Amino acid sequence: MLTRLSIVGGVFIVTIALLTSTSLTGALACPFCAAVSQTFSQEIESMDAAVIAKLVEAPAPTAEGAGVEATFEITQVLKGKEFLGDTKTIKSLYYGEGRQGRQFLLLGTEPGNLMWSTPTLLTDRGVKYINDVLKLPAKGNERYVFFQDYLEDEDEMLARDAFDEFALAPYSVLHELKPKLKHDQLVKWIQTPDVATNRRRLYFTMLGVCGNKDDLPMLEEKLKAEDRTGKSGLDALIGCYLTLAGPDGLPLIEKQFLGNPEAEYADTYAAIQALRFHGSETDIIPKERLLKSLHLMLDRPPLADLVIADLARWEDWSVIDKLVKLFKEADDETSWVRVPVIRYLMACPKPEAKQYLLELEKIDPDAMKRAQTFFPFQSNAVPTRADGEKMAQDELLAMAEVDDNQLPPEADSQPTAKVEPTAQPESGKIGQQTAMAKPTIVRDQSSRAGDRALAAAITAEPGSNSTEATSVGILQRIFSTAIPLAMTFALMLGISGILWNPANKTSL
């Protein structure tokens, strides 16, 4: 149970940190990729000591499979020589049946009384790999030319580490590396069925940098594939296709996914993610053309809520009447469209938006309450009722709820229920720009203004269609106290899990 809590706590903390960091420093290198774990470089950097050691003595494993204390002889000190002094052997918990002479990576913390992590088994190539990695410059082409040679390596541990290095790299690295990217090798990996989906996403991203229009037929074939394997990594596939095809590629995406009522939810969501990426991070396709594609989702009421926030962020107020109509015609299967419509109206600067808010509140006051209280820390936006009275803040907060459909879809799986996507942060460094973007990206003024409009709608800053709340509800105070405590507790559990097995790698 403790292990499960430590994992959940660690993921929660990393998610919060990445959401905060991304807003400050830019998006992750590949918007469709997720690093599997910390890289060797990150692990060694975060510890006080790191050694290569061989197993010299291991007690017989217990019947319960619990760890036993084993003795290791240090063969190479990678880091922390000042803490080790003349130490020749160290002890650490070891799991499984040990074979003397095998080499391991061990990481230590707490100088003066070093505690060692679970040992990570290394091959001879693995030992050489780690030594070579530690000699690489922290930035620059040389580093990633090296890792490119280990993508899909026969040693799975090395292949995974190389993938993680690329997944966490700033996008500028890929453009700088463009002349040395191995185009034909990328195409081969993309066409290999048993390549992991997460890695396939990276290869699509890299192909978007070094590919050309000659690759379009192959990509189109995959977009039209009937089986799930052919469309593996669909979000990155669509992003790559649109990068190479430009606006001319949108009709196919509209026909296959956005305007197709028979398209599966996972496929439709993947297409929206790709368009969202291009609208926020590139100027390959004019934003007006992307919006035209997103408008098709408003003709699919059960999924219309997926794009309403994007329309507001990009300041597309041309569909205000259509959204109000969706709100009024919503039934049990499409009722979740109502809260996004309210938030859209709160951000809209048109004078009729405020009148629509008063009208829609009478139709569904609960939706108005949920729209106001979904972000209890920030939401002070409380529209005035038609009779001039403000909605009581404690009443609003009491109605706060997060529906199941707010959870993001599982990666690489087909959702079984309707969900509303959220940002997908994963562990890793923060890049300078999002992968597949052009080398120089400048967001236009309308995008930034749209972001400010959405923020105003949530925080009730001047300019939004809302008025300031007169008080802070009890539930909000409880949240503001309890959440930091919960985060601290989760962090402690996460650290405890990382300390004893930072890489989550086997010692067998």
pLDDT in tens, 138-161: 888 899 999 999 999 999 999 999
- The pLDDT assigned to 490 comes to 59
Residue 103 sits in the same domain as residue 249: no
Name which of 34, 9, 20 is nearest 410 in CA terms. Answer: 34
Residue 90 belongs to domain spanning:
48-116
pLDDT digits (tens, 9 = 90+) for 361-403: 999 999 999 998 754 333 333 344 334 444 443 433 333 333 3
Residue 97 sits in the same domain as residue 63: yes
The C-alpha torsion from 279 through 283 and 287 to 292, rounded to 10°, is -90
Domain assignment present for 440: no
- The pLDDT assigned to 142 comes to 93
- The pLDDT assigned to 487 comes to 62
More reliable by pLDDT, 413 or 28: 28
Residue 180 sits in the same domain as residue 42: yes
- The pLDDT assigned to 62 comes to 65
In angstroms, the CA 281 to CA 215 distance is: 22
Domain assignment present for 349: no
Which whole number is the average pLDDT over 261-265?
A: 94
Q: Which residues contact 142 (CB under 8 A, 6 or more apart)?
A: 136
Domain assignment present for 353: no
Residue 177 sits in the same domain as residue 90: no
- Entry pTM: 0.69
In angstroms, the CA 454 to CA 440 distance is: 26
Domain assignment present for 478: no
HSE-CB for 222 with a 13 A CA cutoff? 24
Residue 207 sits in the same domain as residue 232: no
pLDDT exceeds 80 at position 479:
no
Q: Which residues pair with 121 in a beta bridge?
A: 104
Count the domains in the chain: 3
* Residue 281, token pair as written in the block: 């991070």
Q: What is the largest CA-CA distance in the chain?
A: 82
* Residue 486, token pair as written in the block: 């919960």
Residue 176 sits in the same domain as residue 166: yes
> What's the N-to-C CA distance of the chain in angstroms?
23
- The pLDDT assigned to 472 comes to 35
In angstroms, the CA 232 to CA 193 distance is: 9
φ/ψ bin of 12: left (φ > 0), alpha (ψ from -120 to 50), beta (otherwise): alpha
Residue 294 sits in the same domain as residue 219: yes
Name which of 376, 324, 377, 374 is nearest 348 in CA terms. Answer: 324
Residue 42 sits in the same domain as residue 186: yes
Name which of 288, 280, 281 is nearest 313 in CA terms. Answer: 280
Domain assignment present for 338: no
Q: What is the mean pLDDT of the chain?
A: 75
Residue 199 sits in the same domain as residue 269: no
Domain assignment present for 64: yes
pLDDT exceeds 70 at position 465:
no
pLDDT exceeds 90 at position 74:
yes
Domain assignment present for 324: no
Query: Of 190, 211, 232, which residue is a domain's last?
Result: 211
- The pLDDT assigned to 169 comes to 85
pLDDT exceeds 50 at position 324:
yes
| CA distances in angstroms from 321 to 159, 337, 384, 420, listed in the order given | 52, 14, 21, 23
Domain assignment present for 12: no
Query: Of 251, 267, 299, which residue is a domain's last?
Result: 299
In angstroms, the CA 64 to CA 155 distance is: 30
Query: Of 95, 116, 137, which residue is a domain's last?
Result: 116
pLDDT digits (tens, 9 = 90+) for 168-186: 888 778 888 999 999 999 9
Residue 36 sits in the same domain as residue 143: yes
Residue 219 sits in the same domain as residue 166: no
Burial 97-127 (b: 16+ CB within 10 A, else e): ebeeebbbbbbbbeeeebebbbbbbbeeebb
Residue 242 sits in the same domain as residue 270: yes
- The pLDDT assigned to 419 comes to 39
pLDDT band at 498 (very low <50, low <70, confident <90, very high): very low
Concatenated DSSP letters for 378-445?
A: T--B-PBPTTSPBPPHHHHHHT----GGGSPPPTTS--SS---------SSPPPSS-TTS-SS----H
Write down the H helix ranges in 330-392: 338-347, 351-363, 365-373
